[in-house]
Amino acid sequence: MLKAEDYRVDLKEIDGLKVNITSYRIGSTYYCHIDNVDPGAVIARSEGESHEEVIQATMARAMERLKPKVR
Amino acid sequence: MQLYANPEVLVSTDWVDQHRADPGVVIAEVDVDTNAYNEGHVPGAIGWNWQTQLCDVVRRDIISKEDLEKLLSLGGVSNDTMIVLYGDNNNWFAAWAFWQLKMYGHNNVRIMNGGRKKWLAEGRGITKDAPQRKTEHYKISDFHKNFRALRPQVEEALHGNGSVLVDVRSNDEFTGKILSPPGLPETCQRGGHIPGAKNIPWGLACNNDGTFKSQEELKALYEEKGVTPDKNVIAYCRIGERSSHTWFVLKYLLGFKNVSNYDGSWTEWGNMVGAPVEKGA
């Protein structure tokens, strides 16, 4: 049966905003999602073939999403 | 869990692992992130989408009686089934589903303490396969409207009827510093909170592993802000899901008799012309 392996949650900051970076592997696929800590909604996610690849891809998406809004 | 007012509403990840295939038990995952279920889920668990299946998709409202009957029937849920809910982000939307199921009178519903996060972190078995379940014929015959607060009840609370409003959003949303959580769409015209509301962010009720804090810790958390069981409590947030989590805590873990969820929340109040708004702490 499948299971999540290498599960970890790291608290980091992107442009001064706290985010949780959650990563794990299921089978041969690596997953990562980033949430905004409070309230914890996922703002970016990726899957890929290596840990580094999914972290980088998810970070890039999160940074785009967290850009200051122009009104 | 024995000190909670209603400890039976929680089941552990261990319990789910042992009983997930029991006849009469249906496990359902409800996530904030609607992609999560497809990554892998508890074997045998069905997935419900809060954006398309647990609400009215035409007008802004909770799911209708007819649609819930259909959803439950197709999920293999009968009126006697034990439904065990779990989800990501400390059971945020699992609590939203729990609130609606209880409102529609399904008594045997539980939450898996710690949710998806704890299940994955513990390395428990998962699958990508969606289960095939035999269709049942679910009938709803009850509706507990007092579990829900609508705008008129919130307006009455502003006029000193003994109710206490609990705003469970982040402090930055409460004070009006931001209009929405970082990275999420701004869905209101004005920032701030309903006058007189107490700010107790929902996540303070959880431990780092996603489980609920102890009865003593929860009691202290709410009592410190004057939120006590003798009061009529109305919880709200931005769209009503974080506050359903707090509603669950107050009603079932602490045993408050009179607590309701104002699911209109800030997306209703913060857009209403002329509604009183307080800014700052």
Q: Compute chain B's Rg from CA coordinates.
A: 18
Residue of B nearest to A71 (CA): B186
pLDDT at position B154 over 80? yes
Are residues B96 and B183 located together in one domain of the fold?
no
Are residues B168 and B84 located together in one domain of the fold?
no
Q: What is the pLDDT of residue B281?
A: 87
Are residues B24 and B120 located together in one domain of the fold?
yes
% of residues, chain A, pLDDT over 90 = 75
Assign residue B21 the CATH number of its domain. 3.40.250.10
The pair of three-digit structure tokens given for residue B204, joined into one six-digit string: 């303070």
**DSSP characters for chain B?**
-TTSSSGGGEE-HHHHHHHTT-TTEEEEEE-SSTTHHHH-BSTT-EEE-TTTTSEETTTTEEPPHHHHHHHHHHTT--TTPEEEEE-HHHHHHHHHHHHHHHHTT---EEEETTHHHHHHHTT-EEBSPPPP------------GGGB--HHHHHHHTT-SSEEEEE-S-HHHHHTS-SSSTTS----SS-SB-TT-EE--GGGGB-TTSPBPPHHHHHHHHHTTT--TTSEEEEE-SSSSHHHHHHHIIIIIS--SSEEE-TTHHHHHTTSTT---B---
Tell me whether residue B75 is in a domain. yes
Q: What is the pLDDT of residue B2?
A: 55
pLDDT at position A59 over 80? yes
What mean pLDDT comes out for the span B174-187?
Answer: 91
Cα-to-chain-centroid distance, residue A46: 7
The pair of three-digit structure tokens given for residue B23, joined into one six-digit string: 């006849």
Are residues B158 and B190 located together in one domain of the fold?
yes
Our CA-based measurement puts residue A63 at a distance from the nearest CA of chain B, in whole angstroms, of 9
Our CA-based measurement puts residue B202 at a distance from the nearest CA of chain A, in whole angstroms, of 8
The catalytic residues of B are 237
Reported as a single tens digit per residue, the pLDDT across A9-35 is: 999 998 888 999 999 999 999 999 999
Q: State the complex-level ipTM.
A: 0.89
What mean pLDDT comes out for the span B61-71?
Answer: 97
Q: Which of B17, B33, B172, B242 to mutate to test the interface with A (most CBs of A within 10 A)?
A: B33
Of B155, B55, B68, give the one whose Cα is nearest residue B109. B68
> B33 or B218: whose pLDDT is higher?
B218
Tell me whether residue B151 is in a domain. yes
Our CA-based measurement puts residue A11 at a distance from the nearest CA of chain B, in whole angstroms, of 12
Are residues B159 and B139 located together in one domain of the fold?
no
Cβ of B121 within 8 Å of Cβ of A4? The answer is yes
Tell me whether residue A71 is in a domain. no
Q: Which of B143, B178, B201 is the last residue of a domain?
A: B143
Residue B209 — pLDDT band, cuts 50, 70, 90? very high
Q: What is the interface size between A and B, counted as CB pairs within 8 Å?
A: 77
Total domains in chain A come to 1
The pair of three-digit structure tokens given for residue B239, joined into one six-digit string: 């769209």
pLDDT at position B1 over 80? no
% of residues, chain B, pLDDT over 70 = 99
Reported as a single tens digit per residue, the pLDDT across B132-153 is: 999 999 999 999 999 999 999 9
Q: How many CB atoms lie within 10 A of CB B257?
A: 12
Q: What is the pLDDT of residue A70?
A: 53
**Pairing between strand B109-112 and B125-126?**
unpaired
Domain of residue B18 covers 7-143
Residue B186 — pLDDT band, cuts 50, 70, 90? confident
What is the rounded distance in angstroms from the CA atom of residue A45 to the CA atom of residue B182? 15
Residue B108 — pLDDT band, cuts 50, 70, 90? very high
Domain of residue A29 covers 5-66
Total domains in chain B come to 2
pLDDT at position B161 over 90? no
